[in-house]
Amino acid sequence: MKNSRIIASLDLVDPKEILDLAEKISGEIFAIKINWPTIMSCGVEIIDHLSNYSKVICDLKIADIPYTNEKIANIASGHGAWGIISHIFPGEDSLKAVVKGAMGTKVFGVVSMSNPDSEHLLNGNWQTMMRIGKTNGIYGIVAPANNQDLLIKIKKEAGNLKIISPGSIFQGGDPLLTLENGADYVIIGRGIYESKDPVEFINNFNELCKRNNLLGE
């Protein structure tokens, strides 16, 4: 669905299961996000296969030295990833390497996380990380759906950066409120693939967005 605001986080480890679900929901979402367990279980070729159905964002949270970061980003890009998620906290040199290795694939930088303890070490540095991200040409940022106060602050300084937000439903975030407070896309995982009817769940949420004038352009 061209104007859907949903990124479906398919954190599954069986290739048939994930591809069957991707085929069913691909017409009603903006993108599919996959993480390390999926790639490690299904092989890196899962990116290629999923790209036949939808944009694919590889949630790799890259956080290594520049040499390694560039290789990771380059591999994901070479297999058809539309987007790559990278940490920013290792420093500017590491982020530059991700952007270089991505070769035009969109890079999203993590400036905060949805787990409670991220507040102690990570979230307090979101402004510094955002400045590094802007300077080095990232496409978007990751900001939490279960911390609306922080999301609102991040939105005010995001400028042209796209905001994608995890932490809805099972982690306590309200996906509709997240969009109202400035996220461009809301990431929903278990709420989709653990529902009795994932297609119905997505369609209901898209309809709710439509009624509240929250569909994308």
Task: Provide the annotated active-site residues.
Answer: 61
d(CA 129, CA 69): 17
Rounded to whole angstroms, what are the CA distances from 38 to 44, 60, 61, 196, 202? 9, 11, 14, 21, 21
Beta bridge partners of 8: 32, 188
**CA atoms of 21 and 30, how far apart (whole Å):** 14
Angle in degrees, 0-180, between the axes of helices 198-211 and 15-25, rounded to the nearest 10: 40
Check if the beta carbon of residue 11 is closer than 8 Å to that of residue 37. Answer: yes
Distance of alpha carbon 174 from alpha carbon 126, whole angstroms: 21
Which residues on neighbouring strands pair with residue 168, listed in sequence order? 173
Q: What is the DSSP string of 180-194?
A: HTT-SEEEESHHHHT
Q: Which of 62, 59, 134, 139 is nearest to 98 (CA)?
A: 62
